[in-house]
Amino acid sequence: MAIEVRLLGHFEVRRDGAPVPAFPRRDAAALVKVLALAPGHRLSCERVADALWPGLLLDEARPRLHKAAHFARRGPGAPDAVVLRDDAVALFPGAGIAVDVERFEHSAAAALTDGDPAACAAAAALCPGDLLPGEEFEQWTQEPRDRVRRHRLAVLRAAGRWDDVLELEPADEQAHLALLRAAVAAGDRTGALRRYDRMAQVLAAELGVQPGEEARALRERVLGARQDPAPPTTRLLERGEELRRLTDVVDGTLRSGRGVVVLVGGEAGSGKTALLAALLDRVRDRIGVLRGGCDDLLAPRSLGPFRDVAHAAPGGALAAALAAGGSADTVFPALLDLVGERPTLLALEDVHWADDATVDAVRFLARRVDELPLVLLLSCREDELGRTHPLRRVLGSVPGAALQRVPVRPLSVRAVAALSDGRADPERLHRVTRGNAFYVTEVLAAGGSGVPATVRDAVLARLAALSADAQDLVARLAVVPSRVSRTLAEQLAAGRLDPMVEAERAGVLGGDAGAVWFRHEIARAAVLSTLTPAELVAAHRTVLDALLAEPSPDPARVVHHASAGRRADVLLEYGPLAAGDAVRAGAYRQAAETLRLTIPVSGGRPPALQARLLADHAASLYYLNRFEEAFGSAGRAVGLAEGAGDDSLLADALIVLSKAAFWARGPLRARDAATRAVGLLAESGDDVRRASALACLARSHSNLGTLGIVAEPGAVCLGYAEQALELAEKAGSDEIRCQALFYVGSGRLADGDERGAADLEESIAVASGDPHLELRLRACVNAAGSAYRFGRFSDADRYVDLGLRLAEQCEFFAGEYKLKLTRAALRASEGRWDDAVGELRALLAAPGDPAAMGLQARSLLARLLARRGAHAEAAVVLAPALETPEARAEIFVAGPVAAAAVELAWLSGDDDAAPGLAEAALRRAAEVGHRGSRSELLRYLQRAGHDVAAPADALGPWAPALAGRPLESAAAWTALGERYEAAVERALSGAERDRGRTALAEMGAIGTLSRL
């Protein structure tokens, strides 16, 4: 049986060459379409349900899925047309299925790879129309529809079918330009002018821009006004290979429609900007060019380079998204539309200064670059991309074929000789400058008989030739670490143009019609170094006053100059605005830095203002994994809020304190803060704040802080979580509803109620609708830990994988750390100790402040090492955890650390030390009612040969073991999936001793075997 499915231009299914009758139900046809588009024509039931019934849970969608499959079989009259088996759905399994989309995309890929225009034309003929016309608004069609459209445009472009390209993309400047060139070359004056007019009308209407320089030159040539534009005269030495590589990358993207990330790296002054300028001169007539740069601000602008892009093309979706607050859910789609509508070279300069939101946007584009006609060119000083710079992770995640590195190396002696042209000794000049292109040009421009010892000296020698007025203007401009608009520059020049013209003619400044800039950041830094502290403050204040005179000044720029200019009043006004912009964009590092600059100048201001700044600072630090700092700021915020007499502000500060304390000190300290917040808000009528406080209180009673596989009872957590859920639903807050669902699910699973699994799924579904990735990531953190402690390892792995994929797109380090710690615990329970040890070592070596999580990671790693017989290394790993105050005060940390210490003592044969190591933690566990830690410690004391009375409230598999029933305990451990503890209990029993020892040997538990 041969099945053919047509999705391009129209929908049709043919069986053995004959059309199948129309499907009797719309959802049956949709099911066939979804499966036809799927790889291997097979999907999980969950994926199908998400596509066709996105508002329903899987269990709710199953009846609809079965009904749709039933009617899908009736169309072709084949009982195996759609088969549901093993929680998956397949279309005609076992039959040969030909789908026109697959045939077209395969042919397009082959033709584009070969670069054969005739093959591209033949491939284009296989796509007679759009994918599934009439279903443009079905979410599941969007990605394949966009992909087909991109491939279709790519083969039409490669085939030179420019009129067909314009049918699909009326604003495609490349197509308009090609048709205009052809008309001019053919001597068709009337046709050329018509082509130009049509191009101008469409570009103005669709993009709000005018035709480019080449198009205007061609029109003027036709009109007899001028000849072709002169070629660029920039002299670029020893950059031919780099320029050729970059040009080939652009041409490759134009041929294939597939994008690439290019990293142009080199030291400051190596010539990266000149190389980029030469590239743009060479390719701008055949690819759209967008350009932006990152700034060396004290707290960089959120999405700074993309704001430059939007400023150059006002009125578009990107500009609107940035003006509306710059959140990822609006900016990222706008970026995708901007670079996906036509072949584009997006050049982002100085990305070593990129803010977090810019890094997120680069990550977003880089992960999709293979599907876009985009050359994403990043220039940077690679020596400033340290090991922990977030861009390192972004670049590491780009597939090898999609990442090109183009290093810009120092000039050779020969190139220096060519540049000097007899004006200096090339050998000496090369030796002093080390071939740094900018340094060389500055030395030559400065003149004189000698070679300045430093590039600073060379820059200042050129500056010395300027008039006093020009030098004053250059000094003011030097405090602006970015391009300066002409309007602002003229204000700084007091309306006089002569000093600016002089500086530009001398080569100190560069510029165009809209802006001026230093030819290089090194030059700006050299000028800055000549200013006294008083002159610096005065220059910053001059720039600040000019910025404040603008209608809508950029808050981040205002903050930079207000801080350096010692203007506390302006800093207090604009600091919170800039921090708010950064938080909305997900740039928590910039928010924290902005508030760090603002808080010191708030002294003497109303306590309420200081408390708000500190609470916001703590919230940003929390997202950055800097828990100790967050805890300190939140604590100060609480103290000031208490003095302000504002219960709402105090509750906000306590809520932030609870979040920070959870990891900085532990759940018990978090519980104290949350309890206070709940009490303050009890009669407030503020449902959103009450729900948030209750969710924090539920969290402090949950098992989120627990590392081990045995869960504490969840009734108290569940009670607070259900209250939070009710209030969140009443207030319409999806964020708090999602958080409450975490803890409802966690509490239910802890008490053996399997409905908790559905609650966790619902929490993730709710989080998926939130624009902030951090909420989705938190949902995965909670779901992974709860599933692990309920023995649902496959679910836990699924949540961990999903969460880590989300973590690649944002900077929520705390969530990422917790997910990896959960994965390490999973692998340890499964007996996959190599994986667990590797994960834990990486976590302990990672930068940041994981606080309590780091202590838990140490305790688990030490136990695994000791079980393998590496007693000395285990002791070294555990020692720092034993010395921290949290290891004594907070049972969620003290319990795991003490259990590790007792197990290490038992495995090393130091049984007498075990009681002393367990004493403090046992006492603390009894005080706070933490049954899991108490049960575990008592069982390990038994294993060390100490008489222990079995407590009546012993928890989980520890209970039968403490009561002398090791095989019952082993069975309970096996049910949870915990291999090691099950094997130890069997080895300690008489009946299954050999079975237990065999399992320990398989795991590599040499240390445990020698002790037993």
Which CATH number do you get for residue 389? 3.40.50.300
Q: In whole angstroms, what is the distance from residue 205 CA to residue 196 CA?
A: 14
- Give the whole-angstrom CA distance, residue 296 versus residue 706: 42
For residue 109, give the nearest of 125, 98, 123 by alpha carbon: 123
User: What is the 3-state secondary structure of 536-567?
Assistant: HHHHHHHHHHHHHCCCCCCHHHHHHHHHHCCC
Q: Give the pLDDT of residue 459.
A: 73
On whether both 422 and 549 belong to a single domain, the answer is yes
- pLDDT for 232: 32
| Spatial CB neighbours of 434, under 8 Å, sequence gap ≥ 6 | 410
Domain-embedded: residue 609 = no
**pLDDT score, position 868:** 94
Same domain, 317 and 437: no
SS (H, E, C) 450-497: CCCCCHHHHHHHHHHCCCHHHHHHHHHHHCCCCCEEHHHHHHHCCCCC
CA 121 distance to own-chain centroid: 39
Q: Residue 231: its pLDDT value, please?
A: 31
Candidates 553, 549, 597, 592; CA nearest to 571 is: 597
Chain Cα centroid distance, residue 411: 37
Q: What is the DSSP string of 940-998?
A: HHHHTT---PPPTT--TTHHHHHTT-HHHHHHHHHHHT-HHHHHHHHHHSSTTHHHHHH
Over the stretch 283-302, which tens digit does the pLDDT of each residue have?
988 899 999 988 877 777 88
Same domain, 878 and 968: yes
Q: What single-letter DSSP state applies at residue 646?
A: -
Is the residue at 559 inside a domain? no
Of 803, 830, 857, the position where a domain reaches its end is 830
Query: Are 516 and 388 in the same domain?
Result: no
Residue ending a domain, among 830, 851, 883, is 830
Domain CATH code at residue 496: 1.10.10
Count CB atoms within 10 A of the CB of residue 94: 9
Whose tokens are 């809209």? That residue is 514
Percentages (nearest 5) of helix, strand, coil residues in the chain = 65, 5, 25
Helix (H), strand (E), coil (C) string for 579-644: HHHHHHCCCHHHHHHHHHHHHHHHCCCCHHHHHHHHHHHHHHHHHCCEHHHHHHHHHHHHHHHHHH
Q: What's the rounded Cα separation, in Å, for the pair 529 and 509? A: 17
pLDDT of residue 163: 87
* Alpha-carbon torsion angle 806, 810, 813, 816, nearest 10: 10
Q: For residue 569, what are the CA distances in angstroms to 386, 477, 542, 602, 864?
A: 35, 23, 15, 9, 56
Structure confidence at residue 92 (pLDDT): 85
- Pairwise CA distance, residues 632 & 851, whole Å: 13
| 42 lies in the same domain as 58 | yes
Structural domain includes residue 923: yes
Instruction: Give CA–CA dist 620/622, Å, rounded.
Output: 5
User: Residue 7 to residues 46, 48, 472, 525: CA-CA distances in angstroms?
Assistant: 23, 18, 67, 59
CA–chain centroid gap for 1000, Å, is 41
Residue type, 911: D
Q: Same domain for 865 and 907? A: yes
Is there a domain that residue 347 lies in?
Answer: yes
The domain that contains 792 carries what CATH number?
Answer: 1.25.40.10
In contact, 622 and 630? CB cutoff 8 Å: yes
Which SS3 state, helix, strand or coil, does residue 723 take? helix
Mark whether 784 and 894 lie in a shared domain: no
Same domain for 946 and 872? Answer: yes
User: Across the chain, which distance is largest between two alpha carbons, in Å?
Assistant: 106
514's CB contacts (< 8 A; 6+ apart) are 485, 486
Contact 532, 451 (CB under 8 A): no
What gap in Å lies between CA 117 and CA 176, rounded to an integer?
A: 19
Which H/E stretch holds residue 97? strand 96-99
Measured distance CA(455)–CA(461) in Å, rounded: 10
- State whether 822 and 863 are in the same domain: no
Cα(324)–Cα(303) distance, rounded to whole angstroms? 13
Rg of the chain's alpha carbons, rounded to an integer? 33
Q: Identify the pLDDT of residue 811.
A: 64
Query: Measuring CA to CA, which residue among 128, 145, 50, 124 is closest to residue 89?
Result: 50
d(CA 115, CA 136): 31
Is 583 a domain residue? no
DSSP state of 115: T
Placement of tokens 């938190």 in the chain: 778
CB 693 within 8 A of CB 654: yes
Q: Minimal CA–CA distance to 162: which of 144, 147, 146, 174?
A: 174
Q: Show the tokens assigned to 460.
A: 């200042």
The whole-angstrom separation of Cα 642 and Cα 646 is 7
Q: Rounded distance, CA 869 to CA 147, Å?
A: 54
The Cβ of residue 732 has, within 10 Å, a number of other Cβ atoms equal to 10
Helices 647-664 and 852-867 sit at what angle, rounded to 10 degrees?
20
Structurally, the chain folds into a number of domains equal to 6
Tell me the three state secondary structure of residue 380.
Answer: strand
Distance of CA 368 to the CA centre of its chain: 13
Q: What is the pairing mode between strands 42-44 and 12-15?
A: unpaired
Same domain, 816 and 795: yes
- Going from the C-alpha of 193 to that of each of 162, 171, 206, 212, the distances in angstroms are 17, 17, 20, 15
User: Is residue 64 a contact partner of residue 53, using CB atoms and an 8 Å limit?
Assistant: yes
638 belongs to a structural domain: no
Please classify residue 674 by burial: count the beta carbons closer than 10 Å to its beta carbon, then call 0-12 exposed, 13-18 middle and 19+ buried: buried
CATH of the domain at 158: 1.10.10.10
Prediction pTM value: 0.64
- Stated as kind and residue range, the H or E segment containing 42 is strand 42-44
Residue-range definition of the domain harbouring residue 122: 1-168
Q: Which two tokens stand for residue 574?
A: 């604009």
Query: Which of 773, 797, 830 marks a domain boundary?
Result: 830
Alpha-carbon distance of 79 to 70, in angstroms, equals: 9
For the chain, list residues with pLDDT below 70.
Answer: 75-77, 137, 205-209, 223-235, 386-388, 445-455, 458, 771-772, 810-811, 848-849, 886-889
Looking at residue 454, its pLDDT comes to 62
Look at residue 242 and tell me if it is in a domain.
no
CA angle (320, 323, 325) in 5-degree steps: 115
Q: What is the DSSP string of 147-204?
A: HHHHHHHHHHHHTT-HHHHHHH-TT-HHHHHHHHHHHHHTT-HHHHHHHHHHHHHHHH
Same domain, 921 and 948: yes
Same domain, 69 and 143: yes
- Residue 506 maps to a domain: yes
Residue 973 near residue 957 (C-beta atoms within 8 A): yes
